[in-house]
Structure 1
Amino acid sequence: MTATAPAPAGRALPHPAREQIRLEGVLHALSDPLRLRIVRELAADGDELSCSFFDLPVTKSTTTHHFRVLREAGVIRQVYRGTAKMNGLRRDDLDELFPGLLASLLDAAARQEARLGEG
């Protein structure tokens, strides 16, 4: 295989279409503190971030699990850029389906962090 060969098709990750995203799946995905932390960091940055950007206090396999749950729920989109797996918040999809939900959840998480001194 040469360096100019296209990436194998297996590198594409499955994502639910907008109309397949379910409220209960989104809420489940965001119910975990580490997944909520990932989403908060993506929202704060406003751009795609690589998986390695996140400094989570869990093993690599557990980190991979958390990203998969978020992707399968339709909360994030993951794409390969070279060897890096990049993550972006599906804000437009979530805002279209559930207006105000993401903003309310992010605000509530920030208030909780301030109140409890977490983070």
Structure 2
Amino acid sequence: MARKIDTAAGRAALDAVRTATASGEKPARTALATAVRYLLQLLDEKAPGNSVEVRVPPFGAVQVVQGPRHTRGTPPNVIEMDAATWIALATGGEAWADAVAAGRVQASGTRADLSDLLPLRP
């Protein structure tokens, strides 16, 4: 990740996203982007490594989990989802298995499973 998001800014962005979503409004793009990146940062801190790439387009991606390092081409272990799904998974609003079963998470590779790492509880 290019820059570190401090805890206060990350939590404020999460609160803004939750408030907007709860009231049926679309969250501000800047708050959504900050919340996604903050949660990716927390995942990176919890499970540093380079064997699994977690993508939340268009806001961010991070390589996590100890294991074989990936250096060129498409990573062998990739997880991709939208911002709303990532926030729900990372904060405990949805279970990993439910999101995968519903098709909201695309995961490929033998290590592409975050069920033991989520939720992050920021």
TM-score past 0.5 threshold: no
| Greater relative CO, 1 or 2 (CA 8 Å, sep 6+) | 1
Superposition TM-score, scaled by structure 1 size: 0.29
Q: Report which of the two has the higher share of strand.
A: 2
